[in-house]
Amino acid sequence: MPRVPNEPSVHVTLSGDVYLKSRQTQKGLIAKVRRNLGIALDKAGYRGRLERIGTHRFSMAPTAEKRQAVIEASATVFGIASVDTVVELSFDDFDDLVIAIADSSEARIENTTFAVRAKRRGNHSWKSPDLARAVGSVLVERGGSVDLTNPGVEIAVRVLDDRAFLVTEHVEGAAGLPLGTQDRVLCLLSGGFDSVVAAWMLMSRGCQVDFVHFSLNCAQSDHALAVGRELWDHWGHGSDPTVHLVEFQPVKDALLADVDSRMRQVTLKVMMAKAADHIARDQSIAALLTGDSIGQVSSQTLPHLVAVSAASDTPIFRPLSGLPKQSIIDLARAVGTAELSARAQELCDLSEGRPVAISAGGKEIKESAGRIPEVVLADALATAKSFKLRDWTPGQF
């Protein structure tokens, strides 16, 4: 009679960005992953054990009712490559292990093809391919059909020393570096698809991300903050971002009054870069971050992006610069912000329906920005409100 496996548990596997580092670097990264994972699990309502398994895995034992919440929370922690539901198999020797795996997998291969993928760590008299072949042979004897290229079911087994785990469900994790292991960046948050995806990409590389939003009468500040909050709620475990809200309508009014219509869009970007640069230097933030993609709009042509960069002493990162819009939207869907971002208003059209510059030179752009009195930007910065994103509520500003 087939044996009954133990109750399922949940294993998370650290990303290669974590466990392939030097031993000393690993120590700090793993500690950060564990802390961030604990925060995510606490939000999911799990307060059970978190056990180290082998060198780069952790194990949890949620109840059946909590298991899905634990899986979903774990998959949003940067530094975790995968989340597996597993059952631990009891065995005495190699042959016993082969039968235990076959007994637990037989029902899964009915009416479909299968492949056995085995991995092991420890001191054994056999290799991983030996185990995979032996299990496959038993399952074929029981009526199964092998397809190593495109199987209907993968039977994944992990053997760690004298313990064996059969994977029953596999979920891809966030991977990357643990959030909080790199320096802070300041993201220019618009509320559309682009900037929040750029923020997510830098978060996946371990960067704490703060936000600055420039409020205009034609924009929706509440909406932009809601998108940022959605990102942080879902992916920001272990971070506590600050938001800087800058009233930029006076800058827009000065643009309309003093700058040629064809130069207003790129000049507005220059003024935002100047303001963000001031905040970054005041807050000792290492870099600015934008969702710019080359050629997407007139202010994002290569000459204009170069001119915007020149306006800021703080380096500007543009992780989306080579991506087409559809790829950015696809990423936003994966991140979970696409639906909310789709409701965003486009930034105001300042051209009054006239043609806009697409390749103005740096000198011309600098001259247009110079038409905005310095006191206008200084006044805008003086009225900036800074607060923790966790404290924000809709309609607050």
Domain ranges of the chain: 9-172, 181-391
Residue 382 pLDDT class (50, 70, 90 cuts): very high
Q: Classify domain 9-172 by CATH number.
A: 3.30.2130.30
Residue 219 pLDDT class (50, 70, 90 cuts): low
Residue 363 pLDDT class (50, 70, 90 cuts): confident
The share of the chain scoring above pLDDT 90, in percent, equals: 78
Quickly list DSSP for 40-85: HHHHTT--S-EEEETTTEEEE---TTTHHHHHHHHTTSTTEEEEEE
Short-list 271, 270, 278, CA closest to 308: 270
Residue 367 pLDDT class (50, 70, 90 cuts): confident
CATH code 3.40.50.620 for 181-391 = yes
User: Residue 103 half-sphere exposure, CB side, CA atoms within 13 Å?
Assistant: 17
4 or 72, which is more confident? Answer: 72
Short-list 319, 331, 334, 237, CA closest to 34: 237
pLDDT digits (tens, 9 = 90+) for 96-118: 999 999 999 999 999 999 999 99
DSSP state of 149: S
Decide: residue 122, CB within 10 A, 0-12 exposed, 13-18 middle, 19+ buried.
Answer: exposed
Give the separation between CA 127 and CA 37, rounded to whole angstroms. Answer: 33
DSSP state of 93: S
Residue 160's CB is within 10 A of a number of other CB atoms, namely 16
Fold match between domain 9-172 and domain 181-391: no
Short-list 379, 376, 369, 358, CA closest to 259: 369
Q: Is the pLDDT of residue 244 over 70?
A: yes
Can you tell me the mean pLDDT for 204-220? 89
Q: Are strands 145-146 and 113-121 parallel, antiparallel or unpaired?
A: parallel
- Are 21 and 27 spatial neighbours (Cβ–Cβ below 8 Å)? no
Can you tell me the mean pLDDT for 246-259? 91
349 or 342, which is more confident? Answer: 342
Residue with tokens 């997407």: 296
- What pLDDT score was predicted for residue 352? 55
Q: Is the pLDDT of residue 314 over 70?
A: yes
Query: Which amino acid type is present at position 357?
Result: A
Residue 297 pLDDT class (50, 70, 90 cuts): confident
Say which residues have a Cβ less than 8 Å from residue 176's Cβ, sequence separation at least 6.
15, 17, 78, 79, 203, 204, 205, 206
Q: Is the pLDDT of residue 218 over 80?
A: no
Can you tell me the mean pLDDT for 217-224? 78
Give the separation between CA 181 and CA 14, rounded to whole angstroms. Answer: 15
Residue 1 pLDDT class (50, 70, 90 cuts): very low
Q: Which long-range contacts (CB under 8 A, 24 or more apart) does 92-98 make?
A: 94/124, 94/125, 94/126, 94/130, 94/131, 94/134, 97/131, 97/159, 97/164, 98/131, 98/134, 98/135, 98/138
